[in-house]
Amino acid sequence: MLEASHRYFHRAADLLDLAPKVREVLLTPNRVIKVEIVDETDDGKLMHYTGFRVQHNSARGPCKGGLRYHPAMDEDHATALANLMTWKTAIVDVPFGGAKGGINCDPNEMSRFEIERVTRRFVDRCKEVIGPTIDIPAPDVNTNADVMAWIMDEYSRHYGFSPGIVTGKPLHLFGSDGREEATGRGVMYALEEALRDRGRELSGSTVALQGFGNVGSHAARLIAERGGKIVAVADHKGGVSNEKGLDVPALVTWAAEHRTVAGFAGGDAFSGSEIIAWPADVLIPAALEDAIDGTNADQVRAQIVVEAANAPTTPEADTILARKGVLIVPDILANAGGVTVSYFEWAQNIQQFRWELDRVNAELEKSMRRAYAGVRELAKEKSTDLRTAAFTLAIQRVGRAALSRRSLRENIDLG
């Protein structure tokens, strides 16, 4: 996975003719943390997990990024995803660097108390090297506001009341209005911009969606509210389709109860893997990495792919989709709405001043459209695709900050 994110980086770095020395400065993580978590399950068995936190780059501010609980979590994943956060925060121009972390546990197999214990142990092991001006975790796959509340509580036991240590907290515990749906809302704005590039609009466009977690479900709801038609949704247990458009609020209720979209009565069932080849105008991968790879990219029928998940398209698939003329809105732009509102939450915590929802959403919309426009402009100027342009913009911003904070012997031109 790390190799894939490096390939995208080098494609943009080549365009900028970036010296090998600068590439190494920008690609090397600041700090890689690995901790062992050994505790007891509720019924007295041993649980032993490994936790990771990779702080990739802090040239533009404290490291920022989610915490993921998933059996596949390892150093390679954390490093690749931390890398992406560095570029993502630069693209939406929030004053943060990039980080990511997680624990290789499966919360679906654990009790609430076990998840809490594992979370507190993780914080205890990392507390000296995270903090509101050092590294600020947030929700990611399989973590949520409850987990953030435990992190805040555990950290605050040592350092005093510190709401700014995490974002994505519960509203009643200094979270921000609009944070939970922010990534999905940002995906919707990114999709609107992409459709505009193709001379179309949301109303009447058909969308196939892979993944119905926090990001996918909010994106689906907001797209449907604006007249888009969600014609198929799949998750790891199966899929459901309706060519007239699924009733998204009813699907949300079903999925909350059954923890899957499979079995929903408002459409026809299909095997989840077919979603990639679904006949729709737009495909939104909102699940895990590598969903579109060399084996299925050729089957994609959508004209636009909006990467709501992180790293859902392998470089091989990226090349195939480009050849087919598919417009890809890359993850580091498309799903940047989450970290944007995380910044608003952190700013509210630091200022001890609450923003109203209208302000959060208005600022988010402005920020997403500005970021998209900047990437679109650079893509035109350099005659390249949106992903390479997004990486180029990010490398310029992070590179300038990094080089101003240290001296290299020669002058480096970042374009």
Closest C-alpha to 145, from 179, 163, 170: 170
57, 104, 167, 214: which one contacts ligand GLU (CB under 6 A)?
167
Contact between 392 and ligand GLU (CB under 6 A)?
no
CB burial string 238-267: b at 16+ within 10 A, e below: bbbbbeebbbbeebbebbeeeebbbebeeb
Question: How many other C-beta atoms lie within 10 A of the C-beta of residue 351?
Answer: 10
Question: How many other C-beta atoms lie within 10 A of the C-beta of residue 321?
Answer: 21
Question: How many other C-beta atoms lie within 10 A of the C-beta of residue 204?
Answer: 10
Closest C-alpha to 203, from 186, 185, 220, 226: 226
Between 248-258 and 214-225, two packed helices, what is the crossing angle to 10 degrees?
Answer: 160
Residue closest to ligand GLU when measured from CB atoms: 66
CB of residue 408 vs ligand GLU: minimum separation in angstroms? 30
Of 64 and 376, the one with the shorter C-beta distance to ligand GLU is: 64
Contact between 66 and ligand GLU (CB under 6 A)?
yes
Of 84 and 118, the one with the shorter C-beta distance to ligand GLU is: 84
Between 2-15 and 20-27, two packed helices, what is the crossing angle to 10 degrees?
Answer: 140
Select which of 34, 45, 88, 100 is catalytic: 100
User: How many residues form the binding site for ligand GLU (CB under 6 A)?
Assistant: 11
Contact between 214 and ligand GLU (CB under 6 A)?
no
First to last CA, the chain: 28
The verdict on whether 127 is a catalytic residue reads: no
Residues of this chain, 331-350, that bind ligand GLU according to CB under 6 A: 335, 338-339, 342
CB of residue 410 vs ligand GLU: minimum separation in angstroms? 34
**Applying CB under 6 A, which part among 29-37, 44-52, 62-70, 391-399 lies near ligand GLU?**
62-70
CB of residue 117 vs ligand GLU: minimum separation in angstroms? 23
Residues of this chain, 114-153, that bind ligand GLU according to CB under 6 A: 138, 140
For ligand GLU, the binding residues (CB under 6 A) are: 64-66, 138, 140, 167, 310, 335, 338-339, 342
Catalytic machinery residues: 100
